[in-house]
């Protein structure tokens, strides 16, 4: 027998209050941790996927949409730009690298990106097996694509038009797998990379099939790409290049960092709201634990006085109450963690299939400790409030009132 055991028995003897305390505290812990985890995942994902991209040049439209489409591969592109125009910008002295990308097709939901060999360098992606692309209709798979679709080098598949999986509009040309990238934990893991010619070939032939005259005319003017991913030679380019493009060409230049920060501000309001709800529930749980402990102290005043006659010191009784709070806190943390994990699992099951992207990150240790600290303070506060009657207790009066 020791103080811990007595505390545990006390808790067991009032199951409803204990359950309520644990449940409410667990809920607030799950919410607070969940928000931090989502926030961290969002931030990480965005920054990670930026790679070395300082600027995205694409068709006029929403800059956020252009970034989402070209950098995070989450949205439809704003339109196409002429490859010739893009090439002109690549030659600017401000530009270190400029990677053209072009897309519009998918295979089983995974986007097919037509680009150059430079693209992989943006993400530091190296070939795990196979070789680089040498000619049109050859593809290299991101690690997750290869794993999920069980494709090997030498396999051939048919792409379908658009960015969402469909059987309605399948291109007749086979794409052949020639390589697989190593896992990078970046967006490239979920892409199918090919060269620009593959995209042009597929769509060119198609256009010939379908709308002969109109499109022929259009295509003669020059090849098109979706956007150009630019990294600067020096930060000073930030001031001049985007404005020049936006003012003097029919293209737009969007700064991914700026746009994503904007997006992050929108989503940040949501995170903050949930955080505040979490803190509110934490306060409620603090009150619940306090009431539960205080009730025990008040209702069991005689028991506590008896313990004193058994030789227990005031300090031992205070420890007993404190341990009860800690046990509740421990189970709440445990339960909160389980609630969080299952909640996020089901939440992200839907997101993953939608965006073909697993964006969940681990909770940063610092945030974890911060929430843990707040919870411990909550418990200490409830315990301090609850032990007040013990300090004030008059054993003699309590014992005399037994009848």
The nearest distance, CB 326 to another protein, in angstroms, is 17
| Minimum CB–partner distance for residue 380 and another protein (Å) | 23
Q: Which is nearer to another protein, 265 or 396 (CB)?
A: 396
Concatenating the DSSP letter of every residue in 264-311 gives HHHHHHHHHHHHHHHHHHHHHHHHHHHHHHHHHHHHTHHHHHHHHHTT
Cα-only R_g, the chain? 31
Distance CA 97, CA 79 (A): 22
Residues in a beta bridge with 160: 106, 170
Task: Please report, for residues 8, 160, 315, 328, the alpha-carbon distance to residue 300 in angstroms, rounded to integers and kept in the order given.
Answer: 15, 72, 17, 19
2 sits near another protein (criterion: CB under 8 A): yes
Taking alpha carbons only, the member of 197, 206, 120 closest to residue 162 is 206
Residue pair 24/382 in contact by the 8 Å Cβ criterion: no
For residue 137, the surrounding DSSP H or E stretch is: none
Nearer to another protein, 266 or 315 (CB): 315
Contact call for residue 6 and another protein (CB under 8 A) = yes
Strand (E) positions, 2-124? 55-59, 81-82, 95-107, 110-115
Number of residues that bind another protein (CB under 8 A): 28
For residue 302, the minimal CB distance to another protein (Å) is: 5
Q: Which residue has the tokens 């430079």?
A: 118
Stretch of 41-49, 104-112, 129-137, 394-402 lying at the interface with another protein (CB under 8 A): 394-402
| Residue whose CB is less far from another protein, 306 or 390 | 306
Residue 123: strand, helix, or coil: coil
Report in angstroms how near the CB of residue 30 gets to another protein at its nearest.
29
**Interaction pattern, residues 61-80, with another protein; x per rule: CB under 8 A:** --------------------
Cα torsion 376, 382, 384, 386 to 10°: value is: -150
Q: Is 363 helix (H, G, I), strand (E, B) or coil?
A: coil
Q: CB 305 → another protein: shortest distance, Å?
A: 8
What do you get for the CA distance between the two ends of the chain, in Å? 29
Stretch that binds another protein, among 1-9, 24-32, 45-53, 105-113 (CB under 8 A): 1-9
Tell me if 231 sits within 8 A of 96, measured CB to CB: yes
Residue placing its CB nearer to another protein in the complex, 13 or 124: 13
**Helices 15-50, 365-392: inter-axial angle, 10-degree rounding:** 160
Of residues 277 through 306, those in contact with another protein by CB under 8 A are 300, 302-303, 306
Q: Which of residues 10-49 bind another protein (CB under 8 A)?
A: 10, 12-14
Decide whether 309 or 350 has the Cβ nearer to another protein. 309
Q: Which is nearer to another protein, 87 or 300 (CB)?
A: 300
Q: Which is nearer to another protein, 7 or 102 (CB)?
A: 7
The distance of closest approach from Cβ of residue 313 to another protein in the complex, given in angstroms and rounded to an integer, is 5
Stretch that binds another protein, among 39-47, 178-186, 336-344, 395-403 (CB under 8 A): 395-403
Report if residue 326 touches another protein, rule: CB under 8 A.
no
C-alpha 141/C-alpha 119 separation (Å) is: 13
| Given 214, 342, 370, 400, the residue binding another protein (CB under 8 A) | 400
Output 117 or 400, the one with its CB closest to another protein: 400
User: What is the nearest approach in angstroms of another protein to the Cβ of residue 324?
Assistant: 11
Contact 156, 117 (CB under 8 A): no
With H, G, I as helix, E, B as strand and everything else as coil, classify residue 72. Answer: helix
Least separation, in Å, of the C-beta of 357 and another protein? 52
* Nearest partner of 332 among 38, 11, 41, 40, judged by Cα: 11
Residues, the chain: 403
DSSP β-bridge partners for residue 111? 106
Q: Which stretch binds another protein (CB under 8 A): 8-16, 70-78, 101-109, 225-233?
A: 8-16
Binder to another protein among 48, 62, 316, 361 (CB under 8 A)?
316
- The residue from 40, 284, 376, 395 that contacts another protein (CB under 8 A) is 395
What residue ranges bind another protein (CB under 8 A)?
1-2, 5-6, 9-10, 12-14, 300, 302-303, 306-314, 316, 395-396, 399-400, 402-403
């Amino acid at each position: 027998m020791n103080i811990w055991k007595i505390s545990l028995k006390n808790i067991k003897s009032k199951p409803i209050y204990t359950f309520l305390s644990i449940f409410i505290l667990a809920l607030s812990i799950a919410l607070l941790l969940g928000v931090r985890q989502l926030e961290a995942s969002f931030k990480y994902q965005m920054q990670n996927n930026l790679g070395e991209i300082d600027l995205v040049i694409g068709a006029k439209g929403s800059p956020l949409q252009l970034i989402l489409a070209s950098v995070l591969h989450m949205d439809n592109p704003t339109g196409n730009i002429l490859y010739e125009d893009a090439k002109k910008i690549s030659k600017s002295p401000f530009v270190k690298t400029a990677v053209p990308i072009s897309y519009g097709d998918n295979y089983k939901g995974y986007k097919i990106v037509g680009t150059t060999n430079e693209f992989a360098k943006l993400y530091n992606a190296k070939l795990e097996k196979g070789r680089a692309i040498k000619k049109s209709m050859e593809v290299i798979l991101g690690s997750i694509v290869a794993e999920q679709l069980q494709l090997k080098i030498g396999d051939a598949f048919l792409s379908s038009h658009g960015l969402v999986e469909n059987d309605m509009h399948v291109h007749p040309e086979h794409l052949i797998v020639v390589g697989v990238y190593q896992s990078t934990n970046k967006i490239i893991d979920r892409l199918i990379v090919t060269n620009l010619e593959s995209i042009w070939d597929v769509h060119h032939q198609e256009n010939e099939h379908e709308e002969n005259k109109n499109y022929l005319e259009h295509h003669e003017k020059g090849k098109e790409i979706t956007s150009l991913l630019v990294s600067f030679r020096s930060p000073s380019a930030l001031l001049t290049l985007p404005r020049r493009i936006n003012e003097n060409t029919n293209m737009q230049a969007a700064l991914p960092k700026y746009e994503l920060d904007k997006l992050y501000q929108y989503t940040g309001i949501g995170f903050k709201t949930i955080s505040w709800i979490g803190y509110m529930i934490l306060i409620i749980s603090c009150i619940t634990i306090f009431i539960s402990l205080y009730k025990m102290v008040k209702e069991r005043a005689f028991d506590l006085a008896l313990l004193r006659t058994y030789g227990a010191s005031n300090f031992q009784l205070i420890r007993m109450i404190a341990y009860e709070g800690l046990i509740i806190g421990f189970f709440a943390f445990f339960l909160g963690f389980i609630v969080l994990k299952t909640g996020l699992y089901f939440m992200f099951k839907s997101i993953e299939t939608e965006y073909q992207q697993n964006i969940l990150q681990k909770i940063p240790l610092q945030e974890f400790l911060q929430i843990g600290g707040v919870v411990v303070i909550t418990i200490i506060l409830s315990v301090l409030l609850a032990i007040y009657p013990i300090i004030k207790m008059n054993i003699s009066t309590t014992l005399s009132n037994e009848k």
